[in-house]
Chains A and B, each alone.
Chain A
């Protein structure tokens, strides 16, 4: 960035346009398929490829006493299976473990792009990708709820709070309906999207801000530029923490929703 400071500094302060990735195939420019062949889509495909290759290679010849790589692959699945699926949903949660583990790996690796050099943007900072995952989770938890309790039974199960005075129900039922059946996928998607969006913004601010300070002229501002870049590194580490946490939270909340759908009590 120091070699081309003038070019980058002109972008400061970064606006939302930095998230507007143009298609990598010029002939598609302007068509509705432009979004399918951007840098973000490429990163999604690469994430999927990396995860698949990682699991297939590490689990090609599994042994009873695992090698280091096999252990790593097993922990990725085992942690989600035991510490999320089984702990929250119970013994029957094992059947959701494959979905939850896939969600976790997908979100984690796509998030990880945000701090990988040259990628440095997470596909999840575009709302569409979190929405896909959140809607899938929503469909599943409503589906298993209806399968277990029946359509009306599930509506009652998820909206009517037991032990509440009858006159509160007219207020409570719409609120519960809204929060449990409508807002859950939205909050799930927006939480992930906003975190990755804001994370990218913060990294840009400190990196490009450093460039702007360096180019500002007065010698006195040069140390401030260095400080800004140093802080960009600190924020990158912070971003690593946030992106892991968001992957975990997304998986955890999905499991919680599944659990609430198939639980007997409210």
Chain B
């Protein structure tokens, strides 16, 4: 009710509700100006740069994570490739070893066969040689034996060179042809 009475005559009381005193305007301007200056100069630009840094940090983190993931994937595929390579290598070595063993086996067999063949051949040769020498010995011995035997039987010396040689040769040739037959 006081308001209703006073409103028409504010001047009477010396206070005008809608008054805009210059002193207050100046205070407001300076105070707000100081605030605006300090915040705009020293605070908000730093916040902007902080926001920017944060955006970059997050984006950088994402890029880094992506890179790490790609790296891990590359390493994994590399390891897998290496593993596969090692496996084929092992298989190859095994195959080679098997082939080598086979080769060595056949080699050894071949050598053994050769050796046995050689031994057999040598034996045969030796045998043949001995046989020939025995035959030769026999031949000379048999000649003299037969002559001395015949001489004893006949009682006379058949030392006549021409006869003896012819007779013995003939007899031996007969013997040989009889043996060969």
User: Residues of B contacting A227 with CB < 8 Å?
Assistant: none
* A48 interface residue per 8 A CB criterion: yes
User: Residues of A contacting B21 with CB < 8 Å?
Assistant: 32, 35, 128
Q: Would you give the shortest CB distance from A135 to chain B, in whole angstroms?
A: 9
Please determine whether B35 and A101 come into contact, CB atoms closer than 8 angstroms: no
Please determine whether B40 and A98 come into contact, CB atoms closer than 8 angstroms: yes
* A244 interface residue per 8 A CB criterion: no
Q: Would you give the shortest CB distance from A11 to chain B, in whole angstroms?
A: 10
* A197 interface residue per 8 A CB criterion: yes
Residue of A nearest to B20 (CB): A128
How far apart are the CA atoms of A106 and B47 in the complex, in Å? Answer: 18
Interface residues of A in 1-31 (CB under 8 A from B): 13-17, 19-20
User: Residues of B contacting A102 with CB < 8 Å?
Assistant: 32, 35-36, 39-40
Q: Would you give the shortest CB distance from A23 to chain B, in whole angstroms?
A: 9
* A-B residue pairs in contact (CB < 8 Å), sample of 13: A16-B3, A16-B17, A17-B13, A19-B17, A35-B21, A64-B54, A74-B51, A77-B44, A105-B39, A123-B28, A127-B19, A132-B28, A132-B32
* Interfacial residues, chain B to chain A (CB-CB below 8 A): 1-3, 6-7, 10, 13-15, 17-29, 31-32, 34-36, 38-40, 42-44, 46-48, 50-51, 53-54, 57
* Interfacial residues, chain A to chain B (CB-CB below 8 A): 13-17, 19-20, 32-36, 40-41, 44-45, 47-48, 51-52, 55-56, 59, 62, 64, 73-74, 77-78, 94, 97-99, 101-102, 105-106, 123, 126-129, 131-133, 136, 197
